[in-house]
Amino acid sequence: MFSKMPVIMLAIIGAIFLLDGFIPYEVKSHVFALSLLVKSIIIFSLPFIIFMLLFKTVAKLSSGATKVIFLILAAVCCSNFISTMVSYQIGSSIYHMDLSLAIPQDVAGLQPAWSQTIPSVVTNDIAMFSGLILGVVMSLMLPQAATAISGIFDKVVAVAFKLLTLIVPVFIAGFVLKLNHDKVIHTIAQDYARIFILVAASVAAYIAFLYFIANRSGFLNSVKNMFPAAIAGFSSMSSAAAMPLTIMGAEKNVQNPMLARLAIPTTVNIHLIGDCFAIPIFAFAVLKNYGMAEPEFYSYLIFALYFVLAKFSVAAIPGGGILVMLPVLESQLGFTAEMASMITALYILFDPVITCANVMGNGGFSMVLDRLGYKAALGTIK
């Protein structure tokens, strides 16, 4: 089923764009409501999947688990910092362009016909830390029990992924209907074409570079394997909701699938290449629009350090990436309340593309880790 997912998603998107004018609003509303329900099911399931994945992986890593985790987190900080610094050059170029940005106006969009959500009983971060800690403790104190539990978790996760893959097309259909009905893509293309193209092109080139250096001979195939996850991220604007597909795609792109199962759940909400490009570039554009001075390199360097640290508190919701960054923008770059409103509106407008980049970036991150030879360096990731 997963191997056919790119074709299925392209067919869904194509059908929606071609037949949108013939689909009654009531049908769109019901499909969107169903998509929200599926998203709720996925979000409800994620903490349990994250816990089982990390417990199983860490238990198998045994004494090397702590070292692996710290190295992954260090790699996340380095990746986010490098991405943020690369975006400085692009943002500086944009600052010297002739820009005049208007705040996007709120438009009444497609509303769900009904609402039925499943409340989460535990957050992803608690599930992550619980899985990591319990996996380490049990592997050291009760290794046989840890192995037995890991085997059970492995089977449960495999079944969960199969079920989630079956419902993803419904999940995607409703959100694509909403994006098309609300004319989000039309607004991006018509009103903010230049800045959108620059942001999209720069982050796409950077991510393509990651995939290329990680797998030169299989570059196109690697991108293809991540396509379903990218579409899920684009349509849902949630890296967490796209995580099951991200893991499945990353597993196909690395020699060591267990590394992908550890890296993706650990970094899904903190390794955000799309944010690292979009927010600084938008910041330069907004600074220019309000006639404020271009940040000097040293000032931007301090901003980048705060920016990377703030990534560890990003909320796993659409628009969450910009909300935790507003205090940093205000304290380090001198943003006013009005400027904060503009960059928030721009971020939310481009959130589908940003999330898509975050998902693709996470897949590339796993490939780079695998390429760096963590298996050889750390021993037993099996």
For the chain, domain boundaries:
2-38+76-118+169-378
Q: Which tens digits make up the pLDDT trace of 36-56? A: 888 888 778 878 887 887 787
Residue 106: its pLDDT value, please?
Answer: 56
| Residues 84/304, Cβ–Cβ less than 8 Å | yes
Q: Which tens digits make up the pLDDT trace of 128-153? A: 778 878 888 888 888 888 888 988 98
Strand spans (E) along 150-200: none
Rounded CA gap, 250 and 362, in Å? 8
Residue 373: its pLDDT value, please?
Answer: 65
pTM as predicted: 0.76
Query: Counting every residue, how long is the chain?
Result: 382
Q: Is 221 left (phi over 0), alpha (psi -120 to 50) or beta?
A: alpha
Instruction: Report the CATH fold assignment for 2-38+76-118+169-378.
Output: Proton glutamate symport protein (1.10.3860)
Strand spans (E) along 241-327: none
Structure tokens at 67: 């070292």
For residue 45, how far is the Cα from the chain centroid?
A: 17
Rounded CA gap, 83 and 88, in Å? 9
Residues of the chain above pLDDT 90, percent: 20
Rounded CA gap, 278 and 177, in Å? 25
